[in-house]
Structure formats: structure tokens, C-alpha cells
Amino acid sequence: MDKKSNFLIRRIHSLLAIIPIGIFLLFHLSLNTTVFWGSANYEAVINFMKTMPLVWALELIIIFIPLLVHAVYGIWIVYVAKNNVLDYKYGANWAFYLQRITALITVVFLVFHVYLQRFMVHEAADVISGLTGYLQNPLFFALYALGLLAAVYHFCNGLFTFLISWGITIGDHSQKICRGISLVLFVVMGVWGVGILTAIAGF
């Protein structure tokens, strides 16, 4: 691949991670936050989303295709990238390495997540009781939370590298501030996501 098309596909890969994938992640967590208002409200919101006209087309265009493009090219990046964390143990190298590890964990987590929602909880009387049953198993909960935290870390650290890739944060000072913000965001979104899982497990 020549340099110009490599640059372009990197830019597309990077942009898709924020628009629409990152925005969808925030929307998805917000929607699931309704679980804190009780299982009946949660169930009503989920059912409303499911019955929206053309929801499958929206899912395909806004989530599935962008995610597939980002994931496939991302796996290629992981495969060809030089993971130098073992040579230089600086924070930035660990973040670089973790970005790639969490990318691979996110692939496994997302495939399982979709399979769980589409096929496994389908047998239960309603979505919530199906999920609660699985999440009450401590091993299941731990692995599921790990997958969620990996995806959230990948997004938050990715937001930091996105700002560098697009030339928005150029100097050391602005990059340091954004690294701090991305870590705080990781903690906030991590607590938020695991809080949702805990609430579902508690029903």
C-alpha cells in the first residue's frame, strides 16, 4: 500500500473510532443507565428500542459496518505494530501496549456480548431476568466486567491518542493534561459500566 492510501485509511480508522463508535458507546451506556430506575423502566426502554422502525438498518450503518472496519484494520495494526514495552518501561509504552491488548479483548468481548444479548437471554421471560441469572455467577460477572473495562480503557486511551493523531494536542503540556483527563474518564466510565452490571445482577 502506498503512503497516501495508508495515511487515508489510518485517518478513517481513527475517525470511525469516535464517530460513530465512541458516540454509540456513550449512548449505549446512557440507555442502560435506566436500569437504576428499576427493572420495569429498563425493560420498557429496551423494548422500545427493539420495536423502532428500521432499527436493523440503523444498527448496520451506525454500528456494525464502522465497527467491522475499525476492528479488521485494528487487528492488522496490532499484527504489524512493534510492541516495544519490554524494552522501554515508560508509561507511554505501556499505554501503547495496553491499547493493543484491550483491542483484542474488546473483539472477544463484543462478539460474546452480542451473542449473549441476541441468543442466550432470549430464552428468558424478559431481558432483565435472563441477564440477572448470568451476572449472579461471580466468575461470569468478573469476566464480563473485565471485557467491559477493556473496551472502556481502549476508548478512553484512544481518545487521548486520537487528539494527538489529528494534531489537536501538539505540545507536551496539552498531551499531559489530556492523558490525565483520559484516565479520569476511564475511571468514571468504568465505575458507570460496572455499576450497571451490579444493578442488573441485583434484581
Write out the residues near ligand HEM by the rule CB under 6 A. Answer: 14, 17-18, 21-22, 25, 67, 70-71, 74-75, 77-78, 99-100, 103, 106-107, 110, 151, 154-155, 158-159, 161-162, 165
The residue among 32 and 39 lying less far from ligand HEM, judged by its C-beta, is: 32
Contact 132, 200 (CB under 8 A): yes
Q: Choose between 42 and 155: whose C-beta lies nearer to ligand HEM.
A: 155
Contact 106, 154 (CB under 8 A): yes
Provide the minimum distance between the beta carbon of 11 and ligand HEM in the complex, in angstroms, as a whole number. Answer: 8
Q: Are 188 and 29 in contact (CB under 8 A)?
A: no
DSSP secondary structure letters along 54-118 = THHHHIIIIIIHHHHHHHHHHHHHHHHS---TTT---HHHHHHHHHHHHHHHHHHHHHHHHHIII
Cβ 116 to ligand HEM, closest distance in Å?
16
Considering the complex, what minimum distance in angstroms separates the CB of residue 124 from ligand HEM? 26
Q: How far is the CB of 114 from ligand HEM (least distance, A)?
A: 11
Gyration radius from the chain CA atoms: 18
Closer CB to ligand HEM, 58 or 114, in the complex? 114
